[in-house]
Structure 1
Amino acid sequence: MKKVLAVALSAALILGFAQFLPTPNGSRVAAAAPAKSKTDASKAAQNKPKPAQDPRMAVLMANKNFLGGLSNKQMQEDYEYLWKTLRESYPFLGVAKRSGIDVDAVYKKYQSQVAATKDDLTFVNTVANAVENLQGLGHLSLFMSSGTYSYLLSTYGELQQSMPQLKAWYAALSNPKTLDAYTKLAGLEAKVIDVQKAQALGNPQSGNAQTPVSQGQTPAENITTKILTPDKIAYVKINSFGNEYIEKDGKILSDFYSKISGYDHLIIDITDNGGGNEEYWFDHIVAPNISKDLTQKQYNLFNVSANNKPYLAAADFLKDAKPVAELPDFPKMAKEDLKGLSSFTVNEKVMKPSGEKKAFNGKIWVLVNQNVYSSSEAFAMFCKSTGFATLVGTPTGGDGGGIDPAYVVLPNSGMVVRYSMLYGINPDGTNNEEYGTQPDFVSPTGESALDTCLKQIAQQK
């Protein structure tokens, strides 16, 4: 199944609530000051002006139990449920440890903070911090924005009509507890926005007002096309493979291919492209520019846990799954990661030409960097394994070739954490999330991928 959503969606709170939150014990800690007598301290307190409280902080504190007032027992249950699910279902804890993260220390640190938490807002922020300390490996994040949640709910709701396999994702997002939680979060966000608007109107020169970012806000243009050398080298920059660009960009690319069909080289720049929908590059980059079928083989490993199973079944990953014990021997496989994985599948991605002849007949180069991730990473993997294009730049960010992230719905709060459940491997057995895809030509430090590519083209003359 294709990845259908733009993974660049922010999991951070769009209003920046975290910066206003108190420490777990309910008060901010000030630096220690020299000891004074009680009389001196009393006089100082009387004469010292009180700092003005940010109005947004006042709104947050007045609504700190925005979920209805969870008990501390419920908070601890949610936290333990999350970690139990991650240990059973999330395949990147070993990757996290090898990257220098003390996973057990992260768990214990925030476990103690949750145990001391007295309000909903601090609880949600604490869980978000715990997840963030695992560095977002494999799309791991807590949805702290009602905009992110609403976008996903609406998108899955629409797509499941024509793609029934997405019902597992929609069911998780549309359960009553979660609907209620994010409706309440939206209400809290609206109150903060109202305060920001009032600040802007009352003191437009203060610089304190912040304009919230709309979840649906996108750049005016997603594609830039250039002719670098007339009749020889063409260039196209694609910022995102998001759903919202597919139709419009398809026409732009088709027209551009017609214009440059006889050129020697086409450079496709996907640096900093965080992903989106694989349909974008299936239909508008690969299919128009091949004359025969291209097949990519991808090994994906996973654990058939209680949380993963509905998503794996919906995506048809269980039908042909084999025990990990039958996995071929890969020279660079991290064997310790196999302990938490039960099964694997071998998925074949077959791309067919969309026309009777190729739209572009020259050599294709693809520029990549560490910010190439998810569906754009899947494109990089496809290029590398099939030879469709030559990769130039720096190693990618990884997590390509999988399916949409699974969800953990916290049972008491209704908040949602997402994570990739598939452990995809490169041809040598290295984990794609950990190592990404290695370019065919690596850019030296300080040199752009485009400059490296142009040098390689010059050497071919």
Structure 2
Amino acid sequence: MRINSFKNGLVLIGLIFMLTISGCKNKKADINSNDKNENKVAEDSNANSKQADYLSDFEFAFDTLKTYYPFFDVNKKLNDVDFLSMHDEFKSWISECKNDDEFFDTMDEILSYANNGHTNMVPIEEGNFFHTIYFDSTYNPELKRISETYEKPLVKERYKIVSDYKLENDAHEGSGEKETSNVIAKDYVDGRIAYIKVKEMRIKRDKDIEVLNKYLDKIKNYDALIIDIQGNPGGDSTYWQDYLIPKITNRPLTQNVYSFMKKGKIFEDIFELYGYEDVTEDVMEELDFPEVTSEIAKKFDKYSFEAITVEPSEKSINFDGNIYLLVDRDVFSSAEALASFAKETGFATLVGEKTGGDGIGTDPYQVDLPKTGYVMRFPKELGITERGVIDELEKTTPDIKIISNEENINEDSKKKVLEIEDENAEKYMNKAS
């Protein structure tokens, strides 16, 4: 169990620290023992104060998750982890923390037991990023509030929030090299099977669009198109909703999804913004979800329905050939949203492994811990497909499963597409003759 190994690690660090201190005695220390004792009292008082802060912030974080976190039941089913029952064990870890770094790392380790990629402590180096991307979200009070979290004095100091970060970041992102390396566009089979690889769903994508437009405009009459998102951790769903699919599809596509949330003060404006309604017995009966889904969803307080519609753009290539989406276990977040959308709407045939999940919903929520100023991030919605599948529980299963290892999954997936297309070509030739 990771619990035991982590606790032992903390104990070992403590022993090394104690041994180091015990070896530092000298005559000067003995002469100044009175001064040292006075300093020690002050140090002990400061240490006790810090530990009280750590424990207070732990309880705040734990209570916040207990009230709002959507995936406790999913975690039990998938990983046999009862997060809430581990409170006392987690608390004992926090009681051993001696400084801020240990507290942050221990809290992050605790959150890892949620087994969710959106649940973590926000690293110091990411604070300015989140503050910036949500800063102009005047249309969305939920996102604006996240940005304002980083403007609180303690959080601002902790994360070193700077006013000129946005300009510096824009200049860095505009260098071009990083942008173009995000996509690959080339023929897999000359003149017949097109291939594009998207590594991340980036917010800044002008260079990506330039590369992809130039290639996609040339392949609109090909037999097949491979869209490879294996290994894609996500990013911004508008990458595929506003650009990629509209550039390719020849017809409107719609996916219906449901989001379930737990009620609480911090989510009140979200319920109003997205038109959430009460979860009742009548509602659950009308939705008629599979039993495993209903057992979990009925414990929530609010739900909403959304139709995600994507239409061909004016510059769409109106691709009429076969489209394949390559997926694997590392496809997550907004990349997972694309996988789910493609399967539910029939936009593409999915090839590869089951995905990583957690793609239905809006941006993860963020709250600051009052005593330390660290920020915790966690998802707020239980996302369910029109078929009644909990996305985080079932993930997205490919239409064509590839049994392979991590090193070969990509090549094996592409070879499978080639095999299918060769069979299609042979059938066409036989029919024509």
Question: Shorter-chain TM-score: what band?
Answer: 0.7 to 0.9
State, as a whole percentage, how many aligned pairs show the same letter.
27
CA distance in 1, matches of 2:178, 2:245: 25
Give the partner amino acid of 2:58: Y
What residue number does 2:91 align with?
A: 111
- Match status 1:139 vs 2:118: yes
The offset of 1:150, in angstroms, is 1.2
Residues 1:253 and 1:350: Cα distance change in structure 2 (over 3 Å): same
| Secondary structure of the structure 2 residue equivalent to 1:444 | coil
- Match status 1:153 vs 2:131: yes
Give matches, 1:265-276, under 5 Å: 265-276=224-235
Give matches, 1:188-207, under 5 Å: none
| Secondary structure of the structure 2 residue equivalent to 1:259 | coil
What residue number does 2:160 align with?
A: 183
What residue number does 1:130 align with?
A: 110
Q: Deviations over 1:154-206 (max 9, x none)?
A: 2212x32576663122122322221122239x9xxxxxxxxxxxxxxxxxxxx
The offset of 1:445, in angstroms, is 3.2
CA distance in 2, matches of 1:220, 1:292: 29
CA distance in 2, matches of 1:156, 1:293: 30
What residue number does 1:451 align with?
A: 415
The offset of 1:384, in angstroms, is 0.8
- Match status 1:252 vs 2:211: yes
Out of 355, 378, 384, the position equivalent to 2:343 is 384
The offset of 1:339, in angstroms, is 5.5
Residues 1:171 and 1:70: Cα distance change in structure 2 (over 3 Å): farther
The offset of 1:344, in angstroms, is 1.1
Looking at both structures, which has the greater relative contact order when contacts are Cα pairs under 8 Å and sequence separation is at least 6? 1
- Match status 1:366 vs 2:325: yes
**Larger mean Cα displacement after TM superposition, 162-171 or 443-452:** 162-171
Q: Which runs of 5+ in 2 are unaligned?
A: 1-5, 18-22, 25-42, 163-171, 426-433
The offset of 1:149, in angstroms, is 0.9
| Secondary structure of the structure 1 residue equivalent to 2:325 | strand
CA distance in 2, matches of 1:301, 1:443: 32
What residue number does 2:381 align with?
A: 422
The offset of 1:408, in angstroms, is 2.3
The offset of 1:286, in angstroms, is 1.0
Give matches, 1:15-414, under 5 Å: 23=10, 27-28=14-15, 70-98=49-77, 99-135=79-115, 137=116, 139-143=118-122, 145-157=123-135, 159-160=136-137, 166-183=143-160, 218=178, 221-244=181-204, 246-313=205-272, 316-317=273-274, 319-325=275-281, 326-327=283-284, 328-338=287-297, 340-355=299-314, 358-414=317-373
Q: Deviations over 1:81-117 (max 9, x none)?
A: 1111101100111111221224245322120122343
CA distance in 2, matches of 1:357, 1:130: 46
**TM-score (normalizing by structure 2):** 0.78
The offset of 1:351, in angstroms, is 1.2
Give the partner amino acid of 2:197: K
The offset of 1:426, in angstroms, is 3.1
The answer (yes or no) to whether the contact 1:227–1:235 under 8 Å persists in 2 is: yes
Residues 1:119 and 1:258: Cα distance change in structure 2 (over 3 Å): closer
What residue number does 1:3 align with?
A: none
Task: Please report the RMSD computed on the Cα atoms of aligned residues, expressed in angstroms.
Answer: 3.3
The offset of 1:299, in angstroms, is 1.1
The answer (yes or no) to whether the contact 2:221–2:321 under 8 Å persists in 1 is: yes
The offset of 1:241, in angstroms, is 0.8
The answer (yes or no) to whether the contact 1:292–1:353 under 8 Å persists in 2 is: yes
CA distance in 2, matches of 1:408, 1:161: 19
The answer (yes or no) to whether the contact 2:367–2:377 under 8 Å persists in 1 is: yes
What residue number does 1:203 align with?
A: none
CA distance in 2, matches of 1:90, 1:408: 12
Q: Which runs of 5+ in 1 are unaligned?
A: 1-18, 31-43, 46-63, 187-213
CA distance in 1, matches of 2:151, 2:278: 32
CA distance in 1, matches of 2:10, 2:388: 43
Give the partner amino acid of 1:458: D
Residues 1:451 and 1:459: Cα distance change in structure 2 (over 3 Å): same
The offset of 1:385, in angstroms, is 1.1
The offset of 1:320, in angstroms, is 4.1
| Secondary structure of the structure 1 residue equivalent to 2:134 | helix
**TM-score (normalizing by structure 1):** 0.74
The answer (yes or no) to whether the contact 1:173–1:179 under 8 Å persists in 2 is: yes
The offset of 1:458, in angstroms, is 2.4
| Secondary structure of the structure 2 residue equivalent to 1:260 | coil
Residues 1:259 and 1:132: Cα distance change in structure 2 (over 3 Å): same
Residues 1:90 and 1:152: Cα distance change in structure 2 (over 3 Å): same
The answer (yes or no) to whether the contact 1:324–1:341 under 8 Å persists in 2 is: no
Q: Deviations over 1:25-62 (max 9, x none)?
A: 962369xxxxxxxxxxxxx99xxxxxxxxxxxxxxxxx
The offset of 1:364, in angstroms, is 1.2
Give the length in aligned residue pairs.
377
The offset of 1:284, in angstroms, is 2.6
The offset of 1:378, in angstroms, is 0.8
Q: Deviations over 1:240-295 (max 9, x none)?
A: 11113x21111211111111111110101000011111111123321122333221
CA distance in 2, matches of 1:114, 1:453: 51
CA distance in 1, matches of 2:141, 2:111: 30
The answer (yes or no) to whether the contact 1:106–1:130 under 8 Å persists in 2 is: no
The answer (yes or no) to whether the contact 1:147–1:215 under 8 Å persists in 2 is: no
